Each structure stands twice: as structure tokens, then as C-alpha cells.
Amino acid sequence: MTTTARRGRRPGAPDTRAAILAAARERFAEAGFGATSIRAVAADAGVDPALVHHYFGSKRDLFVASLALPVDPRDVLAPVIAQGMDGAGERILGTLLAVWDDPDRRLPLLAVARSLLDPSGHRLFQDGFLAAVLVPVLTELGIDRVEHRAPLLASQVAGLILMRYVLEVEPLASMPADDVVSVMGPTIQLYLTGPLP
Amino acid sequence: MTTTARRGRRPGAPDTRAAILAAARERFAEAGFGATSIRAVAADAGVDPALVHHYFGSKRDLFVASLALPVDPRDVLAPVIAQGMDGAGERILGTLLAVWDDPDRRLPLLAVARSLLDPSGHRLFQDGFLAAVLVPVLTELGIDRVEHRAPLLASQVAGLILMRYVLEVEPLASMPADDVVSVMGPTIQLYLTGPLP
């Protein structure tokens, strides 16, 4: 159960992945997604950049992995995207609720939400979650002006998560997912496809 | 600049107000709005309940004072209510943005937002801000099923505050208030007057 602190390259060591993830989390939080390089993360973790790519793929994959989400939002949203824009708001919301309503995923998701709300995590949201996760998903949906629409969509989704899961405000906290979708789906659809100033 | 710690009744003492507010803040945060009595707050502060009423009025007034908001939301929303339901969503949002966009009020409001987001403040939101501030305002507007509509409205408003003022996500953070109203006003109006499950 005890581990010895080790330094330097450990390409095959079982804790290399963990070291890379820890270095990535720190870099992304400090510098944001855009200004963080795989090379810098690799240097911080004391490994070769090729190993980072080998374990995690692209920088975006590494970012998603560093968030320690219980699901990859891109995988979950792929079927939503495949069905096109019609009713996409309702489908995005339904998918989100299915993930959050799963008791096994709730606690890890709450931990991510709290880390993004913490002042140290603000960059991770703005120049990370939005830029590296939400904007690409919306772009794949083929919608226009994604940079304007992503924060609007995020505002309603974040507010819902805050009320339903963090503050557990009734009756929203106990409302069946289908009812939440019927009430808030039109809002998400409006932000995806409605007029912008 | 130094003060001496004093105990017991100090009806005329200049720090009596502060002692009452501190006791109120603690009680409301621990027990919520409903289960907190003026009597208990008075006992905690070491004063007569009549003095609490004298200084702060009703329990709801005491609660709003204990939030240390730079404005009383009920005063600010009174003109919105007076103009009736038509366009109320846009007017509520416009009023909220005018208050938050004022640089003198921004920091105190952010402090309140952070205190409500802190786990110790969760009750203050649910069984406090919603029950004692938002629900009465919506009731005065004459809308139906206020207990269902208040959390929906709060979800979009809280998400907007989070994105625009806490995380400062662009382009939402720098968007002119009128543009935010035109984009999100229909959402607020929908939650105030639209169909519910």
C-alpha cells in the first residue's frame, strides 16, 4: 500500500498515466486549454510527449480525461448529433439528464462541477470545457455562430445542474426527466437555432 | 478602532444591529428561512425580540437584510410587477442586468452568489431566497404555480449570473444588456407563463 516517490522517465510504470493526468490538470487549470501544450504536460510529468499521445491521444482527449468525467460527453452526444438539428435541444437535455440522474455517475459529476465553480477552475470552464468539448459538439451539429450559442446553452444547462443536483431545489430536483425535457427543451433549442443579436 | 466584547442586552448600542444580523445569518443558514424565528435570533444576539422587529421589520425583511444585498430585490422588482405580465420576463431580466452591471454593486453581489453556492449556504437559497424573496415577487405578479415556476426562472437567472459575472465567459460577459434581454427574455417569459407538466 505504500509507494516510493520516484522521478524521471517511467514509460511503463503503472503510475505514469496518473502522473500525466495530474500534470495535465494543473497545466490546463493554470494556462487554459489553448495555451497548454502536450510537450509542457509531458515535461511536467517527466515523460516523453509521444507517451502522452500514446496513452491519451489528442490534446482534447487529454483534456477530457483530465476532467475525470464518468462519461465522455462527445461519445454520449454523438447519437444526438447523428439525428440532426430537429429536436436537438430536447435530445441534448434528455441525454444530460440520463447521465446526471444515474446515481453511479452523480458524485463524480458533482465533483467536476464543484471544481469548475472553484476560482482555480474558471479557466478550465471557459478555455477548456466550452472550447474543447461543447463548441466542437455544436460545430458537428452544423449550427452557426457556435461561439455565441455555446455560452447561452451552457447558462441554461449549468443553471439546471445547479438547481436540480447541487442545491436540490424542489420541485425541480424530483421532477421526472421527461418533464424537465418538456419544460426546458424549447429553451435549449432556441439557443441552438433561434435569432441572435 | 478597538471594540470591547460585550454581552447581554444592548438596545441602544451601535453594534446591536450587527449582532442581530450576524445571529440571523447563522440561524438562517443552519435552519433555513421557515424554521428560523425572530425569537431565536433575538436570543442568539442577546436582545429582545421587539428590538429585532423595531430594527428590521418582518422576518422576511430580516432575511433580506442578512443577505447583505446591495439592493432589496423586492424594491427593484416592484415597478416590474406594477406593469403586469406582458413582457415581464424581459423587464425582470433587464432589471437584474442593470443591478449586476453596476460596478459598485458587482462585488457585493458576487459575494452573496458565492455564499449561496457554498455548501453552508444551500439552505439559504432553497428555503430562503426562493421562498422569501422570489416566490412572493412572482405571487404579486399574479402568476399561477409559483413554486414550480420559481426554480425554473432561478435556473436560467443563476446560469446567466454564473456565465456572465462569475466565470466571465465571452461573448456573454461583454454582451450589451439589451442583447442579453432580447436573447434570454423569452426564456424567462416562457417559465413565467408557459405550460408546465
Nearest neighbour of B159 by CB, restricted to A156, A169, A171: A156
What does the pLDDT read at residue B98?
92
Domain shared by A30 and A112, yes or no = no
CA neighbor of A129 nearest in space, from A156, A151, A161 = A151
Residue A27 lies in a domain: yes
Q: How confident is the model over B38-45, as a mean pLDDT?
A: 96
Nearest neighbour of A156 by CB, restricted to B155, B168, B182: B155
Q: The domain spanning residue B128 has which CATH number?
A: 1.10.357
User: A135 CA to chain B: closest CA distance, Å?
Assistant: 13
Domain shared by A31 and A92, yes or no = no
What does the pLDDT read at residue B9?
42
Domain shared by B102 and B121, yes or no = yes
Query: Are A184 and A93 contacting, i.e. CB atoms less than 8 angstroms apart?
Result: yes
Question: Cell 425535457 identifies what position?
Answer: A181
Mutate to test the interface with B, among A120, A155, A182 (most CBs of B within 10 A): A155
Residue A11 lies in a domain: no
Residues of chain A in contact with residue B190, where contact means CB-CB under 8 angstroms, are 186-187
Nearest residue in chain A measured CA to CA from B147: A171
Mutate to test the interface with B, among A133, A167, A174 (most CBs of B within 10 A): A167
Residue B6 lies in a domain: no
pLDDT at B117 over 80: no
Residue A2 lies in a domain: no
Query: Are A165 and A61 contacting, i.e. CB atoms less than 8 angstroms apart?
Result: no
Instruction: Give the pLDDT means over successive 10-residue stretches in chain A (197 positions).
Output: 41 77 87 87 95 92 83 81 87 92 86 75 78 85 91 96 92 96 96 93
Domain shared by B61 and B100, yes or no = no
B135-193 confidence digits (pLDDT tens): 888 888 888 999 999 999 999 999 999 999 988 999 999 999 999 999 999 999 999 99
Q: Encode burial over A86-95: b for 16+ CB neighbours within 10 A, e otherwise.
A: eebbbbbbbb
Residue A1 lies in a domain: no
The domain in which residue B105 lies consists of 73-193
Domain shared by A58 and A81, yes or no = no
Residue A180 lies in a domain: yes
Domain shared by A107 and A83, yes or no = yes
Q: What residues contact B89, with CB distance under 8 A and at least 6 apart?
A: B185, B186, B187, B188, B189, B190, B191, B192, B193
The single-letter code of the amino acid at A125 is: F
Query: Are A64 and A132 contacting, i.e. CB atoms less than 8 angstroms apart?
Result: yes
Contact B158 A154 (CB under 8 A): no
Give ∠ CA B177-A138-A99 in degrees, rounded to 5: 100
With 0-12 / 13-18 / 19 or more C-beta atoms within 10 angstroms meaning exposed / middle / buried, residue B99 is: middle
Domain shared by B162 and B83, yes or no = yes
* Chain A CB within 8 Å of residue B118 CB: no
Q: The domain spanning residue A24 has which CATH number?
A: 1.10.10.60
Domain shared by A60 and A94, yes or no = no
Residue A46 lies in a domain: yes
B60-72 confidence digits (pLDDT tens): 889 888 887 778 8
* Chain B CB within 8 Å of residue A118 CB: no
Residues of chain A in contact with residue B156, where contact means CB-CB under 8 angstroms, are 155-156, 159, 187
B18-28 confidence digits (pLDDT tens): 999 999 988 88
CA neighbor of A60 nearest in space, from A78, A76, A73 = A73
What is the Cα–Cα distance from A84 to A86, expressed in whole angstroms? Answer: 6
Contact A154 B163 (CB under 8 A): yes
What is the Cα–Cα distance from B50 to B38, expressed in whole angstroms? Answer: 9
Q: How far is CA B52 from the centre of its chain?
A: 20
Domain shared by B53 and B105, yes or no = no
With 0-12 / 13-18 / 19 or more C-beta atoms within 10 angstroms meaning exposed / middle / buried, residue B58 is: exposed
User: A49 CA to chain B: closest CA distance, Å?
Assistant: 31
Domain shared by A61 and A79, yes or no = no
Q: How many domains does chain B have?
A: 2
For residue B176, the SS3 value is coil
Residue B89 lies in a domain: yes
Instruction: Output the CA–CA distances (angstroms, integers) from residue B167 to A81, A125, B99, B160, in the order listed.
Output: 27, 8, 18, 10
